[in-house]
Amino acid sequence: MRNHFVKNNAEILAASSYVIQDPSALRGHYRDRLGAARLNLEIGTGKGRFLTDAARSFPSEGWIGLERIGSVLCKAAGALDKLRPEAALHNICLIRSEAESLPDYFAPGEIDALYLNFSDPWPKAKHAKRRLTSGRFLSIYQKILAPGAILYLKTDSDILFASSLEELPAHGWTILAQEEDYYPDTGDTSAQAIPTEYETQFRKEGRRIHMLRAQVPAGAPLPDPDNGSVPLPLKGASHA
C-alpha cells in the first residue's frame, strides 16, 4: 500500500484533538489522560485502523499509537477527528515520533502491552539493527514496559519473523506463542485478533501471516530518574 505525501500534514496534526503535541509532558500520566488503568502501545500505527478498532473493542483500556510519518499519521488523526460526538473515542491518543524516543515519553512500567503490526522488515542483513525486534529496540521497550508485559507481533515477512524468534529469547524474553500461518479462531476475543489494514490486504493476496507473543524479561523496570519511583505493576497485564 503506497503512502501519499500530504502537504499540510503538520497543520492537520497540530489541529487534531487526538495528537499529543508534547508527549514528554505527559510522561507518567497517560493513564490519567486516557482514563484507563491499562495502557497499550502500537508502534507504527499507520492509518490507525487497528488502534481505532481496538479502542472501540476495549473501551476500559488506553490505546496509544506511535507513527513517525506525518502524512500517514494525519490520516489516522483526520479519521478520528471526523467521528461524531456520540462516537468519539476518549481512550486513544496519537504521537508522531521515532521508537527511539519512547523512554522520553513514558515512565518505567507505564506501558502494559506493546503491539508491532506489520513493521518494516528491513530484510537486508546490514539493516538488521533497524528491525523493531532487534536487541537495541528490545532494550528500549524494557525501559517502559510493566513487569509481565506482553509484546504482540504480526508480520508477513519470513525474515522478520525468524529474526524475532532468535532475538527475543537471546535478550531474555519468553516466547509464549508462535504461529507461522496465523488465523485467529472464531472465539478469539483478544486485541491481537483484530485485523489491520495490511493484514486484510495480505490475506486477499494469499500471503501467510506470522504471529508471536513474547513476555518482557522478569525484573522491575529501571528506576525513573525524574522521581526515583517505579509504578506498581497492574494485575491482568496481558490478554495472553
Task: Indicate which residues carry an active-site annotation.
Answer: 120
Strands (E), the chain: 39-43, 62-67, 92-96, 111-117, 145-155, 174-179, 210-215
Residue 80 CA to chain centroid, in angstroms?
A: 17
Read off the amino acid at residue 235: K
Residue 210, C-alpha cell as written in the block: 506470522
Nearest to 107 by CA among 25, 42, 214: 25
Residue 25 CA to chain centroid, in angstroms?
A: 20
Alpha helices (H) along the chain: 9-15, 30-34, 49-57, 70-81, 102-105, 135-142, 158-170, 197-204
CA gap 148, 143 in Å, rounded: 13
Note the maximum CA span of the chain.
Answer: 51
First to last CA, the chain: 30
Nearest to 119 by CA among 184, 195, 43, 64: 43
